[in-house]
Structure 1
Amino acid sequence: MALEKNEAHRPGPFKQSNKTHKHGRHRSKGSISLATKGKVSLKSLSKKNKRDLNRDQRRHQSLQIRQNKREEVLNKKRALGGLEFAPIFVSVIPLNREFDPTSALAVLSQCGEDAIVRHTSTGITHICVPRFKKKFSLISPAKDNELDVLDTLKVADTVLFLLSAVYGADDIEHMVDNFGKRILSSSFAQGLPTPVVALTDLESIAPKKRNEFKQNVQKLVAQWLPDEKLMVLDKSADAINILRKIGDQKKKPVLYRDRRPYLYGEEVEYIPDKEGPMGTLKVTGYLKGSPLSVDQLVHIPGLGEFQMTQIDAPFDPSKADKNRNRDSNSMEDDSSMIKVLGRCDPAKQESLDSENIPDPMDAEQTWPTNDDFEMAEKEKLLKKIKKVPKGWSDYQAAWIPDDDADFQEDEVSESEEESGDEFMDAASEEKSYYSDAEDKEKDFDTVTESDVGVKDDKYDQQMDLDAEKKDLANIKAAKSDRMFPDEIDTPVDSSAKDRFQKYRGLESFRTSPWDPKENLPSDYARIFQFQNFDRTKKRVLKEEENKDGAMPGWYITVHVKSLSQLMWSTFQETKSPVILMGQFPHEQKMSVLNVVLKRTANYDAPIKSKDRLIFQCGYRRFITNPVFSQHTNGQKHKFERFFQPNSTAVATFYAPIQFPPAPILCFKEVLGTLVLVATGSLLSCNPDRLIIKRAVLSGHPLKIYKRSAVVRFMFFNREDVLYFKPCKLTTKMGRTGHIKEALGTHGHMKCVFDGQLKSQDTVLLNLYKRVFPKWTYENLIVSCANNEMET
């Protein structure tokens, strides 16, 4: 049928639609709008406000964001060291113990004619340079106590490392001695502030060799600080260049420190109470970090945690340096005025309670009635009594056969049980012979041959033969544990089920359930635990941002109350600096801390679990005996008997709570000195971390069949075979199986496996129990008067 005029053709439902040609070009906006047919994506709706802006408005918006960020950075930069703010705190540290930094401080003090220099009673040199509009505070901590050097670096904005050409004239490597290497490695581990490296005494080198000498020193510095350029400090012009660089360079943030308020004591005064053994410590200095509230707690390294009574705002002497032409009478009037910024509120003040006091009558019932006694007598006659190990729960006891009448209550103490492990016989608390040596140098150094007496008549007097035997046994045990991990010889003269009555078998170490609240020790009643640690941390940090109190940059006086007179007199003998670190809420309370540690190259001997170690966790330093475990994923973590060299492990111990991140430094006392044996960071504050100790019993095949074998030397009596029959067996070559039946009365047993064993294979039975740390926390006080570590 022919189409009529002005009539259009309409295709039917079976019209053929060919595939479009792939020309390789992107679709146009028109083609996309035709394909979408007016539909708008959800992402486009969310960006509706942004799309409403035209091109110029978007350009202006990005420009404003960029300018705001730049202004924020500039304000932070001007606030540090400006004439109206706190000075830049610079720690001057020589990298050679024999080098005296006094000459370098004198050159820096003569940086210009207009420079204003002032000294404080605590050894701080204040330099105000009007041409830079900057203020600097320089301090050189004592080199005889390296822990004081680390404490000073915790609060320093910049560290000025000094090298002397005098000590490197013969050999460049001697410019940085063991003292400098220890300071560098420790400061890197705890968080190094912004570094500057300066070379002094360059004029002692011949003029023709100075450039080559500087290049060699630069290569030496690049081993530790590859991004730092070496500067020279011999003249006043050099001092100006160094101070200009310190004032203009970008400051490196130290997160754990910058989140908290901190203060270096420039003026310290102790006022004893009229009655009693306590007193008030007044610490004056520039506050940095975050705002300080009078109701929060402060930590003083070497003294502990304290409360504050009030915070004052005394006259800032740096203002006098700025306005030296003012009338002296008006300056005296200003210096006599002290403004009280805040007094403590006992209702809002943080408590010093660090431990929970458990109630021994908690969860106890009321006094029973006569009916209860009669009911108990009837149940006693009907109920079958089953003897179980001390501390076992009901579902653990269900594993014991009902007809087992020989199962006795475990009266063996933890120490006696550990003595049953042959390679754990070396006592964990023994005193090493190194501590009896008469070496009087008390910095943490690696043990060298010169540290030990070389005279034959005195060498034997310094040696403790019993300690030598114990150290040898410890080394052998660590070697055996590395070669045969967790393998224990079954006792021949006693029953294995009595020896391993606290252990249990698991079908799978990874997937088998283990209740973290089961059989907790009594020390767990003394600690605190968060319902949700991450949520509490976010809430605390958010509250700290909006906290009221003394602001960073202010010159304040903090009144620390209830400091013992005896403790203060002991601390004064150390001549250590007084440093205040503000604490977050809950950080004075005890809990279980887990830290990740990595061994250093300073100490090659294995470290045993529950050995006495010294930890520096963030701003806090203490002594404890940690328990080591593997750093793995999952809910259960295998206990490590030894912290082997060149390895990583997790140390668990009781300590006050601290919110991560926090750097960890681990020291061990060797030969009377402190050696940095491991570094790491705070992992978590979780008492529910399951540390599982494994005991592996081994046996050897006597007769091998196609799918079974007769195994001996795993047990030595028939009762043990029947007792451990439900446990799973494995072999070192990957076979799995189980005990089928006991053969005879001497511990032989028939076992079935998933394949034929080889004659050189070894049959293993894995047993597990949970391990808890010991309550050995001790706060550390450093005493330089007698060069010892005291608690």
Structure 2
Amino acid sequence: MHHHRSSTKDTKPAKRNSSKGRVERSSVKKVNTAAISKQDRLNTLKQLRDAKKEEIWQKKRFGSEEDRALPPKVVCLVGFHTQADPLSLKRKILSLCGKGEEAAKLPPHCPAVASLPNWAQGPGMGKPRVILIDPPRTVFGVLDAAKCADVVLCVLGPTASLEEPAFDELGYKTLTALKAQGLPVTFGAIHGSDNAMNVSAKKQAEARKFVTRYFHSELGAETRLFPAGTDEETKTMLRALAAATPKELTWRAGRGYMMAHEAEYSPDGSLSLKGYVRGPGFRCCHLTHLTGHGDFVVEQISTLADPCPLGQGPGMEAEKVVDELGAQELDLERLQPYDPTMAEQTWPSIEEMEEQKKDASSKPRLKSKGVRKIPAPGASADGEEDANMGDPDQAEDGEAMADDDEGSEEGASVAPSGMAGTEDHWDVSSNMTMEVPTSEAVAAEKRRREVLLQRSAEELEFPDEVDTPLEVPARERFQRYRGLKSFRTSNWDPYEDLPVEYSRIWEFEAFASTAVA
């Protein structure tokens, strides 16, 4: 065997700690920043730029200005089962944040602001804050609170089985409505009342498997679910909430919104709302919608002291008026005035009418054959020529009708009146011929009636389908409908067949450009 020997001359063994068996670490000396290479300096500057960029993006996601601290995250605690207890979980989170006395007196469905402790600090976010809200367990109450939420915390009961799902009937209905509206960042928590949590460890483990299966089947396997029975489990959930990045929802990106913490009504008829403004913000020149009450005029917007301060922020200690209504004129007309002309049918354009004239002139006109001009009795030759020259088409039509009348009189004198119907009481003489019906005609009429009956039954089953008639070609039956040369490339008017109510909606080509900055 060939063996390679070490080429180093220093064979001094490394010092080891006899008690732990580890190599002793030498003390770290102060790094000389002047000796850092150029590549290291570039990497350091890149990391600083990325951190600053991430901070700016975070402020934009939260709807905060760059010179102020980030607003707190809005966490909406939604209970999806009668065994779940969102109020108890909210009080537990507040007690872990150092607000135990306030949490015990906190009424239900009331928002509460808290600053998370240092152990729940998110990466690059500073000291995070949260607003906890437990809406009433109704569909519309949950939807209104979730519209302003950054995180939806789904609270489930501690027990579940094949016979009893983790979501009750109202829970499934609420979850369907939330999915249709649009869910922000979602987490799950298993927390119930004290009586429901006091079961054996074996039963808790079995029930937790069912709860996890129901939760992941409805909200996806990537959605995290945390048990929140003990303080340590709740702390783990809080760390995940602090590190969560809010998701941008497109339907609320262009509008300012706020969850009001306090509301004061004055005798003069004005309502004062306090809270953290999110999104683009508000302006007095625009009407503001209050959920469940309607649209109102904003008289004044001012900044107030932060109810949960992180430090001395600029412009947050004293009250400062940002915007006032003043002499600005407001357009309180929410809908356009009704225009009765919008219900009229669209007329063809001049170009379309000219094309139709060209097509009609290019096609040869068919004339009737075998029609002679017979002078009326007692009329002179000159009068005959004048009458015929005045309207030749009318004369031809009149002569044709005269021939039909003569034929009908002759047919009436020959055909008996009792042969107009058959033994099945069907009228086979509806085609204006008074001849005696044959067996072939009766059979054809029966087939035609059967087809009509069959089509009437299909019409009830498929009302959106139209069948072509039996005797008339489809190009003649549907000739009054406008045809398109190409369904893909032809011009299509999107306002042609809309209801009249749609004309009262204001239309903007670029809403962001129209809005006042």
TM-score for the superposition, normalised by structure 1: 0.39
CA contact (8 A) 1:165 1:204 kept: no
RMSD: 4.7
Give the counterpart of 2:481 among 476, 481, 503: 503
Q: 1:519 to 1:109 in 2, by over 3 A?
A: closer
Q: Write out per-residue CA displacement over residues 650-697 of structure 1, whole angstroms, 9 at most, x where no aligned residue.
A: xxxxxxxxxxxxxxxxxxxxxxxxxxxxxxxxxxxxxxxxxxxxxxxx
Q: Write out per-residue CA displacement over residues 194-228 of structure 1, whole angstroms, 9 at most, x where no aligned residue.
A: 22211124744422344444344323322223123
Q: Identify the residue that residue 163 of structure 1 maps to in structure 2.
A: 156
Give the counterpart of 1:125 among 112, 121, 125: 112
Q: Write out per-residue CA displacement over residues 255-303 of structure 1, whole angstroms, 9 at most, x where no aligned residue.
A: 3324432101222234465xxxxx4332221111233333333233333
Q: Write out per-residue CA displacement over residues 744-788 of structure 1, whole angstroms, 9 at most, x where no aligned residue.
A: xxxxxxxxxxxxxxxxxxxxxxxxxxxxxxxxxxxxxxxxxxxxx
Q: 1:343 to 1:215 in 2, by over 3 A?
A: same
Q: Identify the residue that residue 390 of structure 2 maps to in structure 1.
A: none
Q: 1:180 to 1:491 in 2, by over 3 A?
A: farther
- Counterpart CA distance in 2 for 1:229 and 1:360 is 56
Letter of the structure 2 residue corresponding to residue 261 of structure 1? G
- Counterpart CA distance in 1 for 2:185 and 2:112 is 19
Q: Identify the residue that residue 292 of structure 2 maps to in structure 1.
A: 302
- Counterpart CA distance in 2 for 1:491 and 1:305 is 58
Q: Write out per-residue CA displacement over residues 721-761 of structure 1, whole angstroms, 9 at most, x where no aligned residue.
A: xxxxxxxxxxxxxxxxxxxxxxxxxxxxxxxxxxxxxxxxx
Q: Identify the residue that residue 352 of structure 1 maps to in structure 2.
A: 332
CA contact (8 A) 2:226 2:237 kept: yes
Shift of 1:507: 4.2
Letter of the structure 1 residue corresponding to residue 208 of structure 2? K
Q: 1:239 to 1:478 in 2, by over 3 A?
A: farther
Q: Which secondary structure does the structure 2 equivalent of 1:341 belong to?
A: strand
Structure 2 runs not aligned, ≥5 long = 1-36, 121-126, 366-392, 398-456
Q: Identify the residue that residue 178 of structure 2 maps to in structure 1.
A: 187
Q: Identify the residue that residue 261 of structure 2 maps to in structure 1.
A: 266
Q: Identify the residue that residue 374 of structure 2 maps to in structure 1.
A: none
Q: Write out per-residue CA displacement over residues 9-49 of structure 1, whole angstroms, 9 at most, x where no aligned residue.
A: xxxxxxxxxxxxxxxxxxxxxxxxxxxxxxxxxxxxxxxxx
Shift of 1:391: 5.5
Q: 1:114 to 1:104 in 2, by over 3 A?
A: closer
CA contact (8 A) 1:314 1:339 kept: yes
Letter of the structure 2 residue corresponding to residue 219 of structure 1? R
Q: For residues 483-522 of structure 1, what are the structure 2 equivalents within 5 Å?
A: 486-488=465-467, 490=469, 503-513=481-491
Q: Identify the residue that residue 175 of structure 1 maps to in structure 2.
A: 166
Q: 1:516 to 1:73 in 2, by over 3 A?
A: closer
- Counterpart CA distance in 1 for 2:497 and 2:283 is 41
Q: Identify the residue that residue 286 of structure 1 maps to in structure 2.
A: 276
State the identity %. Answer: 25
Whether 1:106 aligns to 2:91 is yes
CA contact (8 A) 2:158 2:208 kept: no
Q: 1:298 to 1:538 in 2, by over 3 A?
A: closer
Whether 1:222 aligns to 2:181 is no
Q: Which secondary structure does the structure 2 equivalent of 1:283 belong to?
A: strand
Letter of the structure 2 residue corresponding to residue 267 of structure 1? E
- Counterpart CA distance in 2 for 1:128 and 1:214 is 30
Q: Identify the residue that residue 393 of structure 1 maps to in structure 2.
A: 348
Q: 1:511 to 1:208 in 2, by over 3 A?
A: closer
Flag the structure with more relative contact order, 1 or 2, with Cα contacts below 8 A and sequence separation at least 6: 1
CA contact (8 A) 1:90 1:158 kept: yes
Shift of 1:338: 4.3
Shift of 1:176: 1.4
Shift of 1:93: 0.5
Letter of the structure 1 residue corresponding to residue 291 of structure 2? P
Q: Identify the residue that residue 207 of structure 1 maps to in structure 2.
A: 201
Letter of the structure 2 residue corresponding to residue 104 of structure 1? L
- Counterpart CA distance in 2 for 1:525 and 1:81 is 34
Whether 1:96 aligns to 2:81 is yes
Shift of 1:528: 4.3
Give the counterpart of 2:133 among 139, 147, 160: 139
Whether 1:71 aligns to 2:48 is no
Shift of 1:117: 3.5
Q: Write out per-residue CA displacement over residues 101-132 of structure 1, whole angstroms, 9 at most, x where no aligned residue.
A: 33323333332656674648962233344445
Q: 1:155 to 1:529 in 2, by over 3 A?
A: closer
Structure 1 runs not aligned, ≥5 long = 1-55, 274-278, 324-333, 362-388, 407-474, 548-791
Q: For residues 384-783 of structure 1, what are the structure 2 equivalents within 5 Å?
A: 392-393=347-348, 479-480=461-462, 486-488=465-467, 490=469, 503-513=481-491, 526-530=504-508, 533=509, 536=510, 539=513, 547=517
- Counterpart CA distance in 2 for 1:519 and 1:231 is 52
Shift of 1:175: 1.2
Letter of the structure 1 residue corresponding to residue 235 of structure 2? I
Shift of 1:141: 1.1
Shift of 1:71: 2.8
Q: 1:200 to 1:171 in 2, by over 3 A?
A: farther
CA contact (8 A) 1:159 1:195 kept: yes
Q: Identify the residue that residue 343 of structure 1 maps to in structure 2.
A: 324
Letter of the structure 1 residue corresponding to residue 155 of structure 2? L
Q: 1:308 to 1:500 in 2, by over 3 A?
A: farther
Q: Write out per-residue CA displacement over residues 490-516 of structure 1, whole angstroms, 9 at most, x where no aligned residue.
A: 599x99999968622344433445566
Q: 1:496 to 1:293 in 2, by over 3 A?
A: same
Shift of 1:59: 7.0
- Counterpart CA distance in 2 for 1:289 and 1:270 is 25
- Counterpart CA distance in 2 for 1:250 and 1:524 is 39
CA contact (8 A) 2:84 2:158 kept: no
Q: Which secondary structure does the structure 2 equivalent of 1:487 belong to?
A: coil
Letter of the structure 2 residue corresponding to residue 206 of structure 1? S
TM-score for the superposition, normalised by structure 2: 0.57
Letter of the structure 1 residue corresponding to residue 234 of structure 2? A
Q: 1:358 to 1:93 in 2, by over 3 A?
A: closer
